[in-house]
Chain A
Amino acid sequence: MLRSLLLEYQVLHALLLRELQTRFGSHRLGYLWALIEPIIMIGTFAAVWSAFGRGGQLKHDVLSFLATGFIPFILFRETTNRSLYAIDGNKGLLFYTLVRPLDLVVARILLELATQVVVFIVMIAGIAMYRGGLEFHDLLTTMVGLLLASALGGSLGLTLCGLTAFSPSVERIQGPLLRPLFWVSGLFYPATALPLNLKHLSGYNPVLHVVEMVREGWLPGYAAYQTSVSYVLAWILTLTFVGLALERVARRRLQLS
């Protein structure tokens, strides 16, 4: 047991460093790329809002409000994307027989989590310096929210990845599947501001739950609509279970050459 845990650590450690090098190492400013997307998103929304004088309706700082929405969403979306292509992009590594398909997925999930946590800290620190003060409500809730966003993205990516073994067209539905979530997950509005029937419906969206969790933890006095850890966990466990089951079946169909 201990030996296989050590081996697992050894394999994941090697894979993580390799992913880190291949993902960020080839560009001199590689790490900056991870920051550019949230900066553009948040900047655009903040600019449009202030042009229309809409930000004033929020009782919270606009930049912090947007950052706590966009970053957990980007974490979720990127983890899904990266774990979906984890095996396809690294098939050659399976020849090193210590590496199992699942290791490739886990390494990518971990690297994305680490990356986006750093992005979150940098953005929040930047906003705090700009505003000349840092305040937050409950750090633990924010951290749980980010972890759940990562696990949700990872388990969805695992399931989609398993499905691609049966039909490659899964890669094509992934875009249309994730894009609407950008609009319905409360990234740029508080869920409580929705009309009653929409509000009820959006409670089924687990991404909205994690966004609200991150926000509730960060913004003092933010009234979240839905932040059920157990609801999100149910999604994660179901998707993980389906993904692992698919992996077991797909493993035999995986042809290396």
Chain B
Amino acid sequence: MITLEGVTKAYRTRTGHNVVLNALNFEFPARSNTGILGRNGAGKSTLLRILSGAEQPDAGRVRREGRISWPIGFSGGFSLALTGRENSRFVARLYGADVNTVSRFAQEFSDLGEYFEMPVRTYSSGMRARLAFALSMAIDFDVYLVDEVTAVGDSRFQKRCREAFLARSERSSVIIVSHDLRTIRSYCSSCAVLHQGQLLGFDSIDAAAAVYEA
């Protein structure tokens, strides 16, 4: 469960302060998949970074219960000089998981074949995203934070992702940010819209869609 209390975040720009999140109050329930809809530049990725704790809000606080994932879909945490396997072993050690179990899972799930033993430098962006996604599935989290799943891999890989999330939704919850209503519909039971620094919650996706598309 994650609770936001008066969370505010602004970035310095040339023309002054750009307030991305303006005193947000929100409660993400446990064991429930929540979608966050927002247009490009609405602050979705910023919100996700703040939820994860990778960035600090300027004001307000974030309460977290349980293990929260890093923003999934982000592959910048890899060392380009190390292989897929070496990067997997690092993440496993970092999160105190079994090194062999995690790298075996990541190898199978990412379906990188012999590229798993090659430096990440040689990967295409799609392959990096697949490895990043596989690794986050290899570690047990209570909350998975996902940035734009639609960008990851081909349809076969996306199917596998959906199944992995379904298998985990008994124990874990998922928070997905996207600008695409279809993505949210296929994963989430409730939805919120991020607009002009505010986060508005809705019980049904249809209600959110009506506001979002207006």
Give A contacts to B, CB under 8 Å: 7, 10-11, 13-15, 17-18, 21-22, 25-26, 91-99, 251-252, 254-257
Q: Is the CB of B91 within 8 A of A96?
A: yes
Assuming the A-B contacts A10-B96, A14-B93, are A97 and B56 also in contact, with contact meaning beta carbons closer than 8 angstroms in the complex?
Answer: no
Assuming the A-B contacts A14-B90, A257-B45, are A22 and B54 also in contact, with contact meaning beta carbons closer than 8 angstroms in the complex?
Answer: no
Q: Is the CB of B81 within 8 A of A95?
A: no
Q: Is the CB of B95 within 8 A of A98?
A: yes
B60 lies within 8 A of chain A by Cβ: no
Q: Is the CB of A97 within 8 A of B45?
A: no
B58 CB contacts on chain A under 8 angstroms: 252
What's the Cα separation between A22 and B82 when bound, in Å?
Answer: 7
What's the Cα separation between A94 and B197 when bound, in Å?
Answer: 25
A sample of 4 more A-B contacts (CB under 8 A), given A26-B81, A96-B70, A255-B55, is A22-B79, A252-B56, A252-B58, A257-B45
Q: Point out which of A11, A95, A98, A252 has the most chain B C-beta atoms below 10 A from its C-beta.
A: A95
Q: Is the CB of B68 within 8 A of A25?
A: no
What's the Cα separation between A157 and B11 when bound, in Å?
Answer: 27
What's the Cα separation between A17 and B96 when bound, in Å?
Answer: 14
Nearest 9 pairs of A and B residues by beta carbon:
A14-B93, A92-B76, A14-B94, A97-B53, A92-B77, A18-B90, A95-B70, A95-B77, A95-B54
A18 CB contacts on chain B under 8 angstroms: 79, 82, 90
Q: Is the CB of B54 within 8 A of A21?
A: no
Q: Is the CB of B55 within 8 A of A256?
A: yes
How many pairs, one residue from A and one from B, have CB atoms within 8 Å of each other in the complex? 63
Q: Is the CB of B54 within 8 A of A251?
A: no
A-B contact pairs, 26 of them (CB 8 A): A7-B96, A10-B93, A10-B94, A11-B94, A13-B93, A14-B93, A15-B94, A21-B79, A21-B81, A22-B79, A22-B82, A26-B81, A92-B78, A95-B52, A95-B70, A95-B71, A95-B74, A95-B77, A96-B77, A96-B95, A98-B94, A98-B95, A252-B56, A252-B58, A257-B45, A257-B49
With both chains docked as a complex, state the minimum distance between the C-beta of B8 and any C-beta of chain A, in angstroms: 12
Q: Chain A contact residues: over half helix, strand or loop, or mixed?
A: helix
Name B56's closest neighbour in chain A (CB-CB).
A252
Q: Is the CB of A17 within 8 A of B93?
A: yes
What's the Cα separation between A15 and B95 when bound, in Å?
Answer: 11
Q: Is the CB of B94 within 8 A of A95?
A: no
Name A90's closest neighbour in chain B (CB-CB).
B79
B142 lies within 8 A of chain A by Cβ: no
Q: Is the CB of A94 within 8 A of B94?
A: no
What's the Cα separation between A120 and B110 when bound, in Å?
Answer: 44
B93 CB contacts on chain A under 8 angstroms: 10, 13-14, 17
What's the Cα separation between A217 and B82 when bound, in Å?
Answer: 40
Q: Is the CB of B70 within 8 A of A97?
A: yes
A11 CB contacts on chain B under 8 angstroms: 94
Q: Is the CB of A97 within 8 A of B79?
A: no
B77 CB contacts on chain A under 8 angstroms: 92-93, 95-96
With both chains docked as a complex, state the minimum distance between the C-beta of A202 and any C-beta of chain B, in angstroms: 41
What's the Cα separation between A25 and B119 when bound, in Å?
Answer: 12
What's the Cα separation between A92 and B45 when bound, in Å?
Answer: 15
Name A91's closest neighbour in chain B (CB-CB).
B76
With both chains docked as a complex, state the minimum distance between the C-beta of A47 and any C-beta of chain B, in angstroms: 36
Q: Is the CB of B86 within 8 A of A94?
A: no
What's the Cα separation between A97 and B81 when bound, in Å?
Answer: 22
A94 CB contacts on chain B under 8 angstroms: 54
With both chains docked as a complex, state the minimum distance between the C-beta of A223 and any C-beta of chain B, in angstroms: 47
Q: Tell me the B4-56 residues at the A interface (CB within 8 Å).
A: 11, 45, 49, 52-56
With both chains docked as a complex, state the minimum distance between the C-beta of A240 and any C-beta of chain B, in angstroms: 22
A99 CB contacts on chain B under 8 angstroms: 94
Q: Is the CB of A25 within 8 A of B81?
A: yes
Name A6's closest neighbour in chain B (CB-CB).
B96
With both chains docked as a complex, state the minimum distance between the C-beta of B30 and any C-beta of chain A, in angstroms: 19
With both chains docked as a complex, state the minimum distance between the C-beta of B143 and any C-beta of chain A, in angstroms: 12
With both chains docked as a complex, state the minimum distance between the C-beta of A13 and any C-beta of chain B, in angstroms: 6
